[in-house]
Amino acid sequence: MSVALYTNRHGRRISTDDAGAAVLAVALALLPTVLPGYAVYVLPQYMLFGVLAMSLSLLWGRVGILSFGQAAFFALGGYVMGIIMKGAWPINPGYVGLVSAVVLAAVLAAVVGWFLFSAGVTDAYFVIVTLAFSIIAEQIAVGESQWTGGWNGFFVTRMRLTVGSLLDISFDDDVPAYYAVLLITGLTYVLLRTIVRSRFGKILVGIRENEPRMISLGVNTALYKTAAFAVSGAVAALAGAIYGMHSGFVSPSLGGVLFSTEVVVWVAVAGRGSQLAALIGGVVISSLSNFLSSVTPQYWQLCIGLVFIGSIVSFRGGVAGAIDHLLRRGGRERS
Amino acid sequence: MTPVLGVLVDLTLITLVLALAATGLAVIFGLIGVINMGHGAFLTLGAYLTWAATSAGLAFPVAVIAAALGVALVGLLLEHILIRHFYDEPSETLLLTWGIFLVVTELIKIIFGADFRNVTNPLPGTLAVAGLDIPAYRFTVAVFTLILLGGLGFVLFRTSFGLRIRGLIQQKESAALLGLNVGLLYKQIFVLGAALAGLAGALISPMLSIDPYIGNVFLVRSFFVVTLGGLGQILGGTLIGSFVIGGSETLFALVTDQVFAQTVVFALAIVLLRFRPTGLLGSKAR
């Protein structure tokens, strides 16, 4: 498949990606000194969309499994966080919420993933199941209104960072919240890159390229696919949990088919082969989308759809794939 | 006795409407292996074209035919420009048809607006049978669905066009070597599937309020119908799949709310398919 283009050049790709990520991190860290208040408020939410996009890129780019259910995990994270923040806890509810959201999503993804992958369901069928996930998530959010507030959703308060009585930082102000989200985004990137470069990550690529061969080499591919799905679900839920707190609000649309579709579009257009591309794609396209939907609400979604089709037809590695292609050609001409 | 009979009639009507909605998908998915994620948008487009045509003063049957032909034309254009280049790559056609879904849905929103639309029910009365009031229009659509499936069966198993299709499914390379125009046949099947989706959307339109996303729910249900029935089992499979999905949803909706019923049915479909991955009829996959 398309992503096979990259396999020969892993070494160089990794270094350019990580260098780019480092530059991006420094730039993002400096931004609050020059940007107006609104940008400092809203940018972290786009970064969290970027984290969501990275969760899909692990699954789709590495293992070759497309999921239309990432938004379901994102919403799960947001709702679990919100519900826990409402309760009274002996310890910091923020910690309980974050851990529960991530663990719950990982367990759910692992159970469903193992249930399906161990039976050897086809990729196409898995896509449909994840699509059903999104519909179910949205319907539960709408239907179980005693927990979820129904159509209206509910407000979520931001957590505090506490270490015993030594430290107590509030994130009600946008600047500390900005740096907290930036840090989490960076850590998630490092975590996912570490996974991708590990033996585990290489086996995932092996499954993508030739699953029967991996099976005959003695790899339990269902287990690896399940693990990838669980990690991907957990990362999506983490992003959702923090997004819920940061935006102060969760609603059923977070889990819906439309939002899941947007995630797929970000990753497809930016390039499914690279974590950095997914991150940038999530941030850039979602912020563009927000900006342009206020300028041309009617035509923006249409443009996104056309760009999506264009990216599949003409440059299947997405923008990152196209840039890579250009760089490679440039390199050949020089040498 | 009457309540039980009433449920049975409901079940039959819902099964057949769902079968109607899924047939277009079953044809494209089952015969040429393309996972048409645009199916839902084709249904929606059929419903909107019907609304436009009846609003312009056309009689309902004419509007239905116009809608089916309109969607067939859209399907033909899309197949010719995009899809035919990607038949060898199922994962790419899946993405491509999803992109088509996005674009068609947005065009529908731009052209028709995002408000709810209603198509006047052409047969508003009820039929009194054995003490039951059966909605005349739903009954007519159910009978039409049976005729349609019968007609498809006739085309597939009794005509030379059907013979060519079956030859293509069994041995694509041999069929091509024997002089079959594979590209043309793929195109005809895709357009047929699109027309069937448009027809279904048109016929379903008087039963509900139309909005740009009505096809969405039908898309996922149709997929479960088709995969439960088994790929390539277009006739019996579609009916059995519709019966399991639509029937169980009706039954669950009796004891719990609609939302929960649908969740249970989706979960049930996922579980059933895990244990019978080739469908309930156990056909061999393409």
What is the count of residue pairs from A and B with beta carbons less than 8 Å apart?
Answer: 99
Q: For residues B237 and B230, is the Cβ–Cβ distance under 8 A?
A: yes
Lowest mean pLDDT, pick from A178-182, B15-19, B253-257: B253-257
Q: What is the pLDDT of residues A92-119, one digit of tens each?
A: 889 999 999 999 999 999 999 999 999 8
Q: Is residue A7's pLDDT more than 60? A: no
- How many angstroms away from the CA of B147 is the closest CA of chain A? 29
Q: Which residues in B have their CB inside 8 Å of a CB on A?
A: 35, 82, 85, 89-92, 94-96, 98-100, 102-103, 106-107, 109-110, 216-217, 219-220, 223-224, 227, 257, 259-260, 262-263, 266-267, 269-270, 273-275, 277
Q: For residues B278 and B285, is the Cβ–Cβ distance under 8 A?
A: yes
Q: What confidence category does residue B277 fall into, taking pLDDT thresholds of 50, 70 and 90? A: confident
Q: In the prediction, which pLDDT does A294 show?
A: 80
Q: For residues B148 and B20, is the Cβ–Cβ distance under 8 A?
A: yes
More confident residue, B111 or A324: B111
A contacts of B270 (beta carbons < 8 Å): 116, 129, 132
C-alpha to C-alpha distance for A202 and B123, rounded to whole angstroms:
62
Q: In the prediction, which pLDDT does A274 show?
A: 87
Q: Is residue A14's pLDDT more than 70? A: no
**Which of A64, A115, A131 has its CB closest to that of B274?**
A115
C-alpha to C-alpha distance for A191 and A214, rounded to whole angstroms:
24
By percentage, how much of chain A surpasses pLDDT 70? 93
Q: Is residue B44's pLDDT more than 90? A: yes
Q: In the prediction, which pLDDT does B97 show?
A: 93
* Average pLDDT rounded to a whole number, residues B209-234: 83
Token pair 């003490």 is found at B131
Q: In the prediction, which pLDDT does A111 show?
A: 95
By percentage, how much of chain A surpasses pLDDT 90? 46
Task: Name residue A73's amino acid.
Answer: F
Q: Is residue A1's pLDDT more than 50? A: no
- Region of B209 (left: φ > 0; alpha: ψ -120 to 50; beta: rest) is beta
C-alpha to C-alpha distance for B47 and B212, rounded to whole angstroms:
10
Tokens of A156: 């979520």
Q: 3-class SS at A162? A: strand
**Which of A66, A121, A139 has its CB closest to that of B263?**
A139
Phi, then psi, of B72 in degrees rounded to 5: -60, -40
Average pLDDT for chain A:
86
C-alpha to C-alpha distance for B21 and B232, rounded to whole angstroms:
17
Percent of chain A that is helix, strand, coil (3-state, to 5): 80, 5, 15
C-alpha to C-alpha distance for B41 and B238, rounded to whole angstroms:
20
- Region of B151 (left: φ > 0; alpha: ψ -120 to 50; beta: rest) is alpha
Q: What confidence category does residue B247 fall into, taking pLDDT thresholds of 50, 70 and 90? A: confident
Strand A154-155, strand A249-250: pairing: antiparallel
- How many angstroms away from the CA of B99 is the closest CA of chain A? 5
More confident residue, B234 or B275: B275
Q: What is the pLDDT of residues A257-310, one digit of tens each?
A: 888 888 999 999 988 888 899 999 999 998 888 888 788 777 888 888 898 898
Beta strands in B117-181 (DSSP E): 126-129, 132-135
By C-alpha distance, which of A126, A132, A99 is closest to A113?
A126
CA A283, chain centre distance (Å): 11
Q: What is the pLDDT of residues B123-157, one digit of tens each?
A: 888 888 777 788 899 999 999 999 999 999 999 88
CA closest to B96 among chain A residues: A309
CA closest to B37 among chain A residues: A128
Instruction: Find all residues with CB under 8 Å of A106, minimum gap 6, and list them.
Output: A230, A231, A233, A234, A237
Going A314 to A319 to A324 to A330, the CA torsion angle's sign is positive
Q: What is the pLDDT of residues B148-163, one digit of tens each?
A: 999 999 998 899 999 8
CA closest to A126 among chain B residues: B270
Q: Is residue A82's pLDDT more than 90? A: yes
pTM of the predicted model, to two decimals? Answer: 0.88
**Which of A116, A140, A305 has its CB closest to that of B103?**
A305
Surface-to-core class of residue B90, CB atoms within 10 Å of its CB (0-12 exposed, 13-18 middle, 19+ buried)? middle
By C-alpha distance, which of B34, B39, B41, B40 is closest to B93?
B34
Q: Are A309 and B220 an interchain contact pair (Cβ–Cβ within 8 Å)?
A: no
**Which of A127, A308, A313 has its CB closest to that of B94?**
A127
Query: Does residue A306 sit at the B interface (CB-CB below 8 Å)?
Result: yes
By percentage, how much of chain B surpasses pLDDT 90? 44
B contacts of A304 (beta carbons < 8 Å): 102
Q: Is residue A241's pLDDT more than 90? A: yes
Q: In the prediction, which pLDDT does A2 show?
A: 33
Q: Is residue B286's pLDDT more than 50? A: no
Query: Does residue A59 sit at the B interface (CB-CB below 8 Å)?
Result: no
Token pair 């480092």 is found at A22
b/e A166-191 (16+ beta carbons within 10 angstroms → b): eeeeebeebeebbbbbbebbbebbee
Q: Are A121 and B277 an interchain contact pair (Cβ–Cβ within 8 Å)?
A: yes
Q: In the prediction, which pLDDT does B282 show?
A: 56
**Which of B35, B106, B263 has its CB closest to that of A140?**
B263
